[in-house]
Amino acid sequence: MSFVKAENFTDQRLLELISDDKYNEYLAKKADKVRQEIYGKDVYVRGLIEFSNFCKNNCYYCGIRKSNLNVERYRLSFDEIIMCAKIGYKLGYRTFVLQGGEDLKFKDEDICKIVEEIKKIHPDCAITLSIGERSKEAYRSFFNAGADRYLLREETSNKNHYYKLHPKEMSFENRRKALFDLKEIGFQVGGGFMVGSPYQKDEDLISDLRFLQELKPDMIGIGPYLSQHDTPFKDMENGSYKKTLRLVSILRLMFPYCLIPATTALGTINPFGREEGLKAGANVLMPNLSPNSYRELYSLYDNKICTGDEAAECRNCLELRIKKAGYNIVTHRGDVSEYKKMY
């Protein structure tokens, strides 16, 4: 495999590509070529365990925000989380993503215990945390307990825009700093943003891409903003499906070695969104492993897909879909390519 160089678009070219639907096919073709050169037709799968929908934050766009009193809250027990991982392992998952709201009932040491136990039972698996902001010491303790990766979308790189999406108690600076702290500690780090979040301009997306160039993440997760009926943004328009696909392609071209998921939000806005995401340059899927009875309660946005399926059904359904689209599911940890270090 030869080293693939990252595309260096000018701001003006990015603006052109981001703003016009006519570029979808052009970008997807180029991105698919790059993805194939590095990752072939392989698709890495991660078993997603949404272990708590309690959250201390009040992001205006998010269905599980603290002030949404219409959400029935749940928390998985230690045993339930471990059981999800065991079921996932049998289904062939070798990465588990523990995701939740910022739920302080799970103390730092509780998270460490969960990570340690999963690693003890399944040492060949990778663990990704997606639990929001904690202290640097906490991140370090998670890493020492065996966590490998951390997903923390910056959401937006524009400070004014950040405070249109989040209340002032939250900190733009802290979110950004957290990403650099996580990198320094040694995590494989994932950033990202929503496409079409309320008040977002195309110029903001360009600055988001520039921020990611500075961060040099291993993973980048993007999906369309989707409204949720109990949030302050309930009447805001959803993000654009086609623009999200274009951005997936642009990400692949600018960050050739990154792990880029075709997200659940992309599959929610269009029934073939995940397949099209792969064709546009994505190489990761994150099917749900959470117990069936809780799925609907993790309602970040309306009409979320796969809320009724069992873990095994999700796995089979995805395998069929991926094969039909011309890709192969891979059963290993699916770490970022070693070549990533070179850029």
Residues making contact with ligand SAM (CB under 6 A): 61-62, 99, 101-102, 130-132, 152-153, 155, 194, 223, 225-226, 228, 265, 300-301
Which does residue 206 touch among ligand FES, ligand SAM, none (CB within 5 to 8 A, set by kind)?
none
| Ordered DSSP codes for 316-330 | HHHHHHHHHTT-EEE
Which does residue 194 touch among ligand SAM, ligand FES, none (CB within 5 to 8 A, set by kind)?
ligand SAM
Residues 45-64 that bind ligand FES (CB under 6 A): 55, 57, 59, 62, 64
Per-residue binding letters, 78-117, with ligand FES (x by CB under 6 A): -----------------------xx---------------
* Minimum distance of ligand FES from residue 296's CB (angstroms): 16
- Is the CB of 50 or the CB of 148 nearer to ligand FES? 50
- Is the CB of 172 or the CB of 327 nearer to ligand SAM? 172
Q: Sign of torsion, CA 103 107 112 117?
A: negative
* Minimum distance of ligand SAM from residue 231's CB (angstroms): 7
Residue located via tokens 């990533």: 340
Nearest alpha carbon to residue 247 among 216, 215, 273:
273
Contact in structure between 274 and 267 (CB atoms under 8 Å): yes
**Does an H or E element contain 247, and which?**
helix 241-254
**65 in contact with ligand FES (CB under 6 A):** yes
* Minimum distance of ligand FES from residue 13's CB (angstroms): 34
Helices (H) and strands (E) in the chain, counts: 13, 9
Measure CA of the first residue to CA of the last residue in the chain; give whole Å. 15
* Minimum distance of ligand SAM from residue 50's CB (angstroms): 8
- Is the CB of 57 or the CB of 270 nearer to ligand FES? 57
* Minimum distance of ligand SAM from residue 90's CB (angstroms): 26
**Does an H or E element contain 28, and which?**
helix 24-39
Which does residue 152 touch among ligand FES, ligand SAM, none (CB within 5 to 8 A, set by kind)?
ligand SAM
* Six token digits for residue 296: 């609907």
Which does residue 222 touch among ligand FES, ligand SAM, none (CB within 5 to 8 A, set by kind)?
none
Which does residue 65 touch among ligand FES, ligand SAM, none (CB within 5 to 8 A, set by kind)?
ligand FES
* Six token digits for residue 190: 């994932």
Q: How far is CA 76 from CA 53, 64, 157, 294, in A?
A: 9, 16, 33, 9
* Minimum distance of ligand SAM from residue 99's CB (angstroms): 5
- Is the CB of 38 or the CB of 76 nearer to ligand SAM? 76
Q: What is the SS3 assignment for 149-206?
A: EEECCCECCCHHHHHHHCCCCCCHHHHHHHHHHHHHHCCEEEEEEEECCCCCCHHHHH
- Is the CB of 38 or the CB of 48 nearer to ligand SAM? 48
* Six token digits for residue 250: 């642009």
Q: How far is CA 285 from CA 143, 153, 231, in A?
A: 23, 17, 27
Per CB under 6 A, residues contacting ligand FES are 55, 57, 59, 62, 64-65, 101-102
